[in-house]
Each structure stands twice: as structure tokens, then as C-alpha cells.
Amino acid sequence: MGNVSDKIVRMREIRFDPALFENYMTGTVLDELLCSYKGLPKGVNYMVIGDPGVGKTTIILDLLSNIRKQHPGVKVLFVSAEMNEIDLAIYVQRFPKFQDIDILFVESNFDDNVDSHNLQTLTEILQQGWDVVAIDSFYELQGIIKEEESITQKKAESMLLSLIKQQNKADNNAQVNTTFLTIQQVTKTGAFIGSNRLKHSITAMMELRLENPKNIYSERYALFSKHRRGDVGVRLYYDLSVTGDVFYNEDRFSQDRQIRQLQSEAGKSMRNYADKFDILFENIKIKKP
């Protein structure tokens, strides 16, 4: 057994390639929501949740397509564990740019006489080295692996997280720090499905919501409820009705961000006044005979 002290490091001793901190751009206002210094970072894990029908798959495919357009040499992969080729053909009709995205279809095999090895296939393909990988969805992929490998749900989750972490750290043939965009299912009340370990393993949680959850035709917006690289709570409204591209409302986004900033400053001022009052009150109590 090695010396446990060898596991202790100082950040000043760790060297990174400066290119690791050059983000992928989409060329849309979404870049400002994805990170405080714009764009999608490398080697991170973003999870996407949202109401049914809010457009999670569309937003992710649009993001991948835009990154390919802005960075022609970047390799992106879409892992579909929920939809087959026919399902995705409908998306391509509305958004032709999706047809150039590399896709891996992972499907459950209901034939007991046929052995499926989706985990092995996924591992081998990821080992090639991809810049950005999107998974739709983590829960479905986890369930497929659980059944094929005859393991528990918890073990399947651990295996997937280990695989993702390995790719994050550039342990692949291309030595690239892979970023993962993972769609995750939610409960009927909109709550996240998954363990606490899964929650803590992600860099950011992007939520896609309907203004009125009971009305599928109500306005839609994206926001981050957890974000280690950017702001939380700022809404970016979007529209999927335009053929060809997702429309993001940049003006409304700027207004919402300004409002959030004013609220933050107001809250800070109130806390400062409260602290001053507490100090003054303590001084009065001390001087009281």
C-alpha cells in the first residue's frame, strides 16, 4: 500500500493545458447562460431536466449542431437510449442541421436468446475520444445496463458515472476532456430522479420549464438551479416553433439578468444594514449601566 500522504495535492502543483479553459461556443445568447465566461466548458457534466414536452432533446441537439458550426473540428456524439431512428427522423425534418450529428442508438433487447452488450459498445465508442457527448436519457441508459448486466440500479449508476468521470479526465485515445450533457427524467411533480451521488457529480443543473406547467403551449424558458460555472435563477426564454433553429429571446434574457442583479444588490444592502444594526444594538447593551 502506498503512502496515503501521496494523495494530498496543492493546486499550484497541478498543471493544466490552457486550451482546457477555452469553452465551446454556440454562437447564441445561450453561451451567456452556460457559463459566466461564456460557452460550454470542457471536461464538465451538465444535467438537463424539465417538464414533458418542453423540448429537452431539441435544445440539446440544437446546442450540439451549433457547436459543430462554430468549431468545425470538434467531435460531438448524441447517445439516444429513448428514441430510435424513426423518432429522430421527425426532428431532422424540422431541424435539417441535426442530420449531421453522430448518433449512437442504444436500445433494450427483448429477445432472451440474444445477448446485448450496450455497455461494452458505449465504452468502446467513448474511448475513441469525443469533445461533447449528450445522453438521452441517463435514467433510461442506466436501466438498460442494469438489465443487460444483471446488476442493481445503484451499480449501473456507479458504472456509468465512473465511465463519465474517466472521459472527463481525458482517459481516452484522443486525450480530450469530454463534456457530458445528460438529460434526466423527472417525477410527475417535476423533481429530479436520481441518487444524491448523481446530483453531486454534476457541474450544473439546467432546468427547462413551461411558464404554466399545465399548458403545453405556454412560454418556455431555461435556467440553472445549480451552477458551479455561472449564475442560477436567470431565465432564458426560447421558442421551438421556428423551423431550422431554436429561437432564444436575447432581450428578455438581458432584462431578467439585470433584475436578478438588482435583487442581489438590494439583498446585500439589506444584510449590511442588518449587520450594522446588530453591532449598534450590541454596543447599546454593553454600555447600558
187 secondary structure, DSSP code: -
Q: Residue 60: which of 35, 30, 36, 32 has the closest Cα?
A: 30
Residue 258: per-residue pLDDT:
81
35-63 confidence digits (pLDDT tens): 999 999 999 999 999 988 899 999 999 99
Q: How far is CA 191 from the centre of its chain?
A: 16
> What are the b/e assignments for 118-149, b being 16+ CB within 10 Å?
bbeebeeebeebbbbbbbbbbbbbbebbbebb
97-125 confidence digits (pLDDT tens): 999 999 999 987 655 555 668 999 999 99
All 3 cell numbers of residue 51?
A: 417538464
Question: Model-level pTM greater than 0.75?
Answer: yes
All 3 cell numbers of residue 238?
A: 426560447
Residue 97: per-residue pLDDT:
94
Q: With cut-offs at 50, 70 and 90, classify the pLDDT of residue 187.
A: confident
Residue 276: per-residue pLDDT:
66
* Angle 40-42-43 from CA coordinates, rounded to 5°: 130
Residue 272: per-residue pLDDT:
67
Q: Residue 61: which of 99, 17, 19 has the closest Cα?
A: 99
How are beta strands 179-183 and 45-50 bridged, if at all? parallel
DSSP 97-152: GGGGSEEEE------TTS---HHHHHHHHHTT--SEEEEE-HHHHHHHHHHHHT--
